[in-house]
Amino acid sequence: MADLVLGHVLSLPEVVVDIGGGSGAVVKLICARTNARIVVNLDPSPGFEAHADGALRVAGRAEALPFSDNSIDLIYSYGVFHHLDVPVALADVARTLKPGGLAVIADFITENGRPRQALTLIFDALRAFRGYRANIGLVGAVRVVGYRLSPGWLNHARSDRLLSPSEFHKIYTNSLHSVNFDAMAGAMVAVWRKPGG
Ligand SMILES: C[S@@+](CC[C@H](N)C(=O)[O-])C[C@H]1O[C@@H](n2cnc3c(N)ncnc32)[C@H](O)[C@@H]1O
């Protein structure tokens, strides 16, 4: 995810927000690779601890970002927006980005519109272990993957209402003028630069 986000960055950002950053695995990479002045992991969940070096942990919700208008250079998010009222959250992304600022929002989709199966979720969690270990260490990786394999999380994830690619395209296009799209395994990515700047 960090490679995908930074692949769209034209100049190094000063103020960065990860919406729903969870364990802080991506935040940590963004801190190291951008040297940004302020990096915020914004997440409402008390169950996660931030492991990000130098990042601020802020409790909050994407639908009401606790930041001023035109204050952020880079907003990104991975695997969060299906929890949200997407148009409301995107309106707040547009409000808080600086003119010329960049948003990269990646979220899970389903090709067929059906909920994900438990076996797929288990396989994905196990496959992610190596990446977590590289980014947040063995103990962090065991904790995050353990959480992703817990019955509570699996039940939650199976009940997620994911968008199909065409729904994703329509909703994001309606909210963000001239948004572009990218794809990654099991997810779609909206890439938007706020006009001006
Ligand atoms: C599947 S996890 C993704 C975590 C992280 N982005 C990652 O890639 O590992 C979803 C995250 O979304 C967060 N979340 C749920 N509702 C949210 C909201 N309204 N605003 C911001 N984050 C939210 C959860 O707390 C959780 O950390």
CA of 17 to the centre of ligand 1 (A): 13
Same domain (yes/no): 38, 122: no
- Looking at the CA of residue 25, tell me the nearest atom of ligand 1: 9
Same domain (yes/no): 25, 109: yes
Q: Is the CB of 195 under 6 A from ligand 1?
A: no
Pocket test for ligand 1, best of 27, 80, 156, 160 (most atoms within 8 A of CB): 80
Residues 6+ apart with CB under 8 A from 34: 6, 9, 12, 13, 16, 74
Residue nearest to atom 27 of ligand 1 (CA): 22
Please report, in tens digits, the pLDDT of each residue of the chain (197 residues total).
Answer: 888 888 888 889 999 999 998 878 788 888 888 889 999 999 987 655 555 567 888 889 999 999 999 999 999 999 999 989 999 999 999 999 999 999 999 998 887 767 778 898 899 899 989 988 887 789 988 998 999 999 998 988 887 788 999 999 999 999 999 999 998 877 899 999 999 97
Same domain (yes/no): 170, 136: no
- Give pLDDT, residue 51: 56
Same domain (yes/no): 144, 174: no
What type of residue sits at position 103? A
Q: Is the CB of 62 under 6 A from ligand 1?
A: yes
* Residue 180: CATH number of its domain: 3.40.50.150
Same domain (yes/no): 107, 120: no
CA distance linking residue 197 with residue 193, whole number of Å: 10
Among the listed residues 86, 118, 133, 131, the one whose alpha carbon sits nearest the alpha carbon of residue 105? 86
Same domain (yes/no): 35, 127: no
Residue 103 pairs with which residues in a beta bridge? Answer: 75, 192
- Give pLDDT, residue 50: 54
- Give pLDDT, residue 60: 92
CA distance linking residue 79 with residue 61, whole number of Å: 14
Q: What would the 3-class secondary structure string for the chain be?
A: CHHHHHHCCCCCCCEEEEECCCCCHHHHHHHHHHCCCEEEEECCCCCCCCCCCCCEEECCCHHHCCCCCCCEEEEEEECCHHHCCHHHHHHHHHHHEEEEEEEEEEEEECCCCCCCCHHHHHHHHHHHHHHHHHHHHHHHHHHHHHHHHCHHHHHHHHCCCCECHHHHHHHHHHHCCCCEEEEECCEEEEEEECCCC
Same domain (yes/no): 59, 13: yes
- Give pLDDT, residue 14: 93
In degrees, rounded to 5, the angle at the alpha carbon of residue 130 between the alpha carbons of residues 128 and 62 is: 45
Residue 131: which domain range?
Answer: 116-159
Q: Is the CB of 45 under 6 A from ligand 1?
A: yes
106-146 residue pLDDT tens: 998 887 767 778 898 899 899 989 988 887 789 988 998 99
Residue 180 pairs with which residues in a beta bridge? Answer: 191
Same domain (yes/no): 7, 34: yes
